[in-house]
Structure 1
Amino acid sequence: MVQLLIVDDEASVVDSLADTLPWREIGVTAVFKAFSGSEALELLQTNSIDIMMTDIRMPGMSGLELLATVRRRWKRVKCMLLSGHAEFAYAQQALRHDAHEYLLKPIGDDEVLAKVGHLVGELERERDESRAYERVVKAFSENLPKLRGDLLADLLQGMKLSPERLGQKLESLKIAISSGERFALLLCRLEDRLAELDFYSLSLMEYAVANMAEELFEDEFRLWSCKDIHGYMVFLVTQSAGDPARSDNQEQREELDESADSRLQSAASQLQLGVGRYLKGSVSVLISRWGLFPIDIQRLYEDMLLSMRKQVGNQSGLLIYVSNEFEQLPVHALQRLNEPPMLVHLLESGDWERTRDKLSGVWNELSSKWADSSEHVTEAFFSVYASFSSFAHKNGRQLTDMIGPHLSDATGLMPIRSMESFRQWMFQSLELLQQCMESETRNDRENAVRKIKQFVGKHLVEDVSLQKIADYMYMHPVHVSRLFKLETGENLSDFVLRLKMEKAATLLADPSLRNYEVALRLGYQNPNYFIKVFKKYYSVTPQEFRQKLETIEEP
């Protein structure tokens, strides 16, 4: 609801503006009248005014003085100045007081409605933005622990962020760690009875373990936790004070490291005992070596997963300090292929540029490290092929239909024959997928615009506001407007007006219909407003238009 206040010491001006214009058509639901600055202030104190239109020269309090007071006490009210004086000094003062419009008398009704309608649109956008911002802030606060965990889980999987981007994320999520700071990882696997719990009960146990860890570590360490893709609980541990990396003395750094290791293992042991005593379950805990944030996260995490497979296996209740095992392996997995964002997720998001970057990274790693390994090349081929197929199926299509039978024939495309043939297949297939999806998008836009036109044509004499059309299409009004403009090159409001005026011309050709009847049939409750709109569109009044038609029809 938008409420307008009109202030002028000339009662005839106030009454004319308030009572004769079709305010509801532009979204104004109530119009208040004031004949002096003091009356305006009283109305502002007792009513929720959104837009104020005031004359400048009034006895007692001038319009500029009123504007200055409103700006101090009701900052959200949008103000317009209306004056018969065109002196530039008034315009300068109006701008200093943040007036949104400066209008000179005499002014046409259409211009008044257009200017006020523009401010109504601004209010609606501001309200939408404010509500959206409040929802986002609330959702962000409620989901902060999950957002923190998601970031750590992505870093464990090898997600690459620029230092600036990572710093921004850490700051926004209120995570107290900086680039180059030393850290260790703890990996906890809930076992025996705990591993057999249902999802809800397991979530409660994991919450209890995380709280227990916070209490045990809080005196000397800071924890940042997540649940990884294997269902393990992972804690990134930093020291609350005395970071050895900040010391210039090598011997002192080693002593601090040994002391930190001892305290860390002691706290981990206490965590195991606490789980057994209070949660009646078992947990294995693996402790990594110390590394530097963020460059060592994935490497230390891979070390722990390898130790979990080789040293823990099916045993339970173990506490292991992980050595540098991963770096000693003769064969490694493809890093770029398996790190987030995953290829299938990039395809689903429609981010074609980042998808190309992903495939380029996979190709560069293959050609530089594993060009002679047929197994690595084959792994990459089938992983990319599976992502392309999954993307096609999720869009209700066969991969053959999107990229053709030649490129989708997996049996004839074994890439181990040639690295170059694999590269050509990847990027050619991606290009065809993109072309297919963009063609479907264009078709969807065309169908949407056709539905919009049908709705407007069917409801032309009713409410065909942008909001009504958006509700019918289940879209946001801004999206509807942009979609229509993008596809047709015409503003949606201009299209509606054109149809109304064409319909008006057809109705005016019927001599049995009076002008006011034509206005009502087109949804205009105010015949005078219809006459003004018609004249602005055709440059003649409805009556003059009829006279021209009669002249043409005469032999």
Structure 2
Amino acid sequence: MYNLLILDDEPAVVNSLAHNIDWEEQGIAHVFKATSAVQALELMREYRTDLVISDIRMPGMDGLDFTEAIRSLSPHTKVIIISGLDEFRLAQRAILLNVFRYMTKPVPYMELVQAVQEALTALESELEQHQLLENAGLAMDSARPILQERFLQQWIVRGGGKTAKGPTSLDPCGLEIREDDPCLLLLVRVDEWPREDTDPYQRLKLQKLVGEILFHGTPCIMFNDFERQLVVLVQQNSEAKLQAAKRYMEGMAELLLSTAKRSLGCTLSLFWSGRFFAAGTVHEEYIRLKERARFTLAWESGIIQGAAPEAGGWDEEEQSLFGYPGFEQWVERLDKTQALYHLRHWFDGDGGMKPARTYDMLLLLYNTVSASLIKASLKRKVPLQEWAKEETSIFYAMQIPATVSRLRAWALRVTELYMDYMLERSQHATSRLLAQAKQLINSGLLEDFTVQDIAMKLHVHPNYLSRLFTRETGITLTEYTVMLRMEKAKALLASPGWKVFQVAEEVGYVSVSHFNRTFKRHTGMNPKEYQTSLAVPEQ
């Protein structure tokens, strides 16, 4: 998101431009208003300004003089001049000042919005094509000498080395660090860097990006720690100046993340201290930042984190995710749809429900998934490696994946692996059980047996057998038995010489009347009628 400054000596014009256009829809987060060039410059010194819309005729400093004044203050800022005069001299000077667009009044809102969009596109393009990436290799020796980096690693990362007291330099390398002046520490962590091996200067380019975008015009010291994270130390001679630098850094952090992703293909996480401190305690501040980064999993969009987040769990609504039925119950029931549905909602959120963000909550998700799948697997007497295959090592390592996207992908992947394997295994067991039940029915067709008798022989509960048989075949066990008896009865009645009472007895019926009623219900006619319908008429 970008920041816009509107400058005009008429307040009504400023308010009209500020409120009659949906700036947020154009990608602009903050709109600052000024009615004089002096007021506008004060705002620009305090806040990052990406775009200026300015009138040209104003008392004191006009729009073009103002444009000339801001070039040294904020060189990346795009300027759109609106003039009531169509004078070649003014337009020519605007071109010399590199004004992005010179527009004459009246300017329709649609044309102004179009000009703003083009200015923001040009700003993005300039950031990508800027020389900070092209000359990184040549600037290596002057930007970060090896001696300075070793000293900083020893002093800030390891907490070693002696420091002088007072305003003199803290080290023999020429670094201007003063003992008592306030400092701010920033930690830049690279979470995803897919193209690192293709360019040996990738990290130098990143360092150049950080310095130019986050700290443009503000002196800072940058070096890589032993974990390949970029550490930035900013020091000013007053807290007011350091606060201004911090505000600028916060405003540009989102732009750094998007530029690094687009230009270098890397995803960043930014962590900075929530307070100012003296240089003598920089090692302790680094340790705090390092621990905070260690327990913050990366997100695909990157992380921007100032003061340490407050501790705490989910709200009551979110805690209900672990109620009954929860993930463990869906795993036990082999309900793949519900298990995956809840996993996605825990990670992604849904409607008013917030996704899991803190390290503790993500750790809870990891342990919930791991424990549920391992417990269910052992309960079914299936070895973990039998279904987890190459994912088994993550279970045995008991180590949470490094990024949220990897954790999410792993959780969904292992859940699907378990469900698919167990469902296929269950289907095989079901098919085998039904085949055994049908075989018992066929072999005992003449016997007066019950569902309980069959279930007992198969060592399962009668209710389970009944539900399973009905679900898989669409009919009950009793209906299946009657169907087999009637099919056999039809075959016997079609054979010469068979009487109805003989057929009834042959298919297991003691009562002929009961047989007649059942046969008619099944075929629509009684046994005698059925035999007659099959008789061949004499020629």
> TM-score, normalization: structure 1?
0.32
Q: Quick check: which one's helix share is greater?
A: 1
Rg comparison, structure with higher value: 2
